[in-house]
Amino acid sequence: MTKIFIDAGHGGTDPGAVGNGLKEKDLTLKIATKVKIMLEDYKDVSVKMSRAGDTYPSLSARTKVANEWDADFFLSIHINAGGGTGYEDYIYTSASAMAKEYQSTNHVEIMKQIDMKDRGKKSANYQVLRTSSMPAILTECGFIDNAGDAAKLKQIGNDGTANVSPNQMTLEDVTEEENGRFEAEPDTQKEDDDPFATDLSDDDSLE
Ligand SMILES: [Zn+2]
């Protein structure tokens, strides 16, 4: 069983980046949910998400859950801002060889699926990358404050079909129905002991 932890960045009182009528926290949840649905089509893959709704688990709580679950891979999904355009992903500055390999593999495959400028494979001292004990990458899926990227991000959820073409798949089409179905599955919630109800004091360093 391969265990994949998907972290939808931000949430709740933390909207993340905003621009062009979009909030990062909404987009990250839609993309994370879409990725979860796709991964669950594979055999022997188990997926857990850091959040299933508009809530804010602290960064330390997110990696704590992933570490205690003994995830094989940690994927944190974010949207960029600040005047650029395109997709980039990060591993920890002192990442393991396996993390570097995972980043390379994911980067190539993601770029095949999306219509965005390739900003490259990068590294940074982000908390969720530093404190996760398994290979981890953090994706920045376009710039919310760039009109062109935002137009692509706005397509997420507008199309009710789940069977989109591969070229449209990564940043689109998590429907409300899919969200509802996911949230209705009790065994995917995994929040029975409220692991996210920890302190928020160390949540300053992600971006
Ligand atoms: Zn972010």
Ligand 1: centre distance to CA 41 (Å): 27
CA distances from 145 to 17, 83, 88, 142 (A): 8, 7, 15, 9
Spatial separation of the C-alpha atoms in residues 171 and 116, rounded to whole Å: 10
Is 140 labeled as catalytic in the residue annotation?
Answer: yes
- Flag whether pLDDT at 188 surpasses 90: no
- Flag whether pLDDT at 163 surpasses 90: no
Average pLDDT value over all residues in the chain? 83
pTM for this prediction: 0.77
Taking ligand 1, which is a single-atom ion, which protein residues have CB atoms under 5 Å away? Answer: 9, 16, 78, 207
Mean pLDDT on 46-59: 97
Domain ranges of the chain: 2-188
pLDDT in the model for residue 156:
83
Mean pLDDT on 122-128: 98
Tens-digit pLDDT profile for residues 74-85: 999 999 999 999
DSSP string, 141-161: EEETTSHHHHHHHTTTTTS--
Spatial separation of the C-alpha atoms in residues 82 and 110, rounded to whole Å: 22
Ligand 1: centre distance to CA 200 (Å): 16
- Catalytic: which of 88, 140, 172, 178? 140
Tens-digit pLDDT profile for residues 31-42: 999 999 999 999
- Flag whether pLDDT at 173 surpasses 70: no
Indicate the fold that domain 2-188 takes in CATH.
Aminopeptidase (3.40.630)
